[in-house]
Structure 1
Amino acid sequence: MEIKEKIPIMTYSQYRRARKLAHQCCNYENGNCLALDDGEECVCVQSISYSLLCRWFRAAVLPLDESLEAALLHQKEQKRCTVCGQPFLPGSNRAKYCKICAAIVHRRQKTASDRKRRAACGQLETKKP
């Protein structure tokens, strides 16, 4: 994944989440980066920086946290969920909800549709003879 724009700067909460993710990187060992190791230990730059410097982290580790990836890499492409207000990457131009809220809203809409259909055909009689 190539980023042709400037390197995104993280807020403190995003930095904390990225730092936790850095521990899951395969090149991370006791605070040091194995990819930068040339015989002498080198501190993992992603765990101490407020910007996305490590290409390996950006390509392999950041996708583990979809919301953080969307917030940092896809700022112009993301929308806000109409239910919870969280930013998300839409799958189409009609998307209004994040994945979690979409499932809940779909369930509610299906229930309301089924109720309306049953009431129209007389299955839900309110008065009994």
Structure 2
Amino acid sequence: MNDRPLPRMNYTQYRKMCRLVHECCNYDGGNCILLDDGEGCVCVQSISYSLLCKWFRIAVLPLDKDLAAVLFPARHGLRRCGECGRSFSPPRHNTLYCPECAARRTRRKKREWAARNRGRP
């Protein structure tokens, strides 16, 4: 059994997921066909802030690459930026910052270096 905790979504992620759940082939007017045993059963994914439905995680969530990357960053080869905390796809294994923050840090470091070395002969 998998003992890793299921990712919890914030409200905006939950709203994206609710719009995406309508794309599931097992979703039928608020009910789940897979859980149907004669009478309608509410789709658990449409009412939860966790990713409970395995079918949704495997088949439907990859349709929204941004949401999937935020909820499962390691699976998509993403990393969190050390400066701003956003997820980004690193071009190399030792990249620590997203491209925007890397450019900002480079400019700041050059400015600091120039200020330190301006008065030296």
User: TM-score, structure 2 length as denominator?
Assistant: 0.65
1:1-129 alignment to 2 at 5 Å? Answer: 4-74=3-73, 78-80=78-80, 86-90=86-90, 92-93=92-93
SS at match of 2:24: coil
Once the 2 structures are TM-superposed, how far is the Cα of residue 8 of structure 1 from its aligned partner?
A: 0.8
The number of equivalent residue pairs is 97
Relative to structure 1, is the Cα distance of residues 91 and 57 closer, same or farther in structure 2, using a 3 angstrom cutoff?
farther
Q: Point out the more displaced range, 11-20 or 89-98.
A: 89-98
The answer for unaligned runs of 5 or more in structure 1 is 102-129
State the AA in 2 paired with 1:88: F
Instruction: Pick the structure with greater CA Rg.
Output: 1
CA distance in 2, matches of 1:22, 1:62: 8
How much has 1:90 moved relative to structure 2?
A: 3.8
Q: 1:89 to 1:27 in 2, by over 3 A?
A: farther
Give the CA deviation at 1:92: 4.5
Question: Runs in 1 of length 4+ with deviation above 6 angstroms?
Answer: none
Q: CA shift at 1:4, angstroms? A: 4.7
Q: CA offset at residue 87 of structure 1? A: 1.8
Distance 1:70 1:90 in 2: 13
Identity of aligned residues (%): 53
Contact conserved, 1:79 with 1:88, CA < 8 A, in 2?
Answer: yes
CA contact 1:67–1:88 (8 Å) conserved in 2: no
Is the 2:73–2:79 contact (alpha carbons within 8 Å) kept by the matching residues of 1? no
Greater alpha carbon shift after TM alignment, 12-21 vs 2-11: 2-11
Paired with 2:17 and 2:2, the residues of 1 have a C-alpha distance of 18
How far apart, in 1, do the equivalents of 2:89 and 2:55 lie? 22
Determine if contact 2:80/2:88 at 8 Å carries over to the other structure.
yes
| TM superposition shift of 1:18 | 0.7
- Alignment TM-score, normalising by the size of structure 1: 0.62
Deviation digits for residues 29-57 of structure 1, max 9, x if unmatched? 10110111111100000010000000000
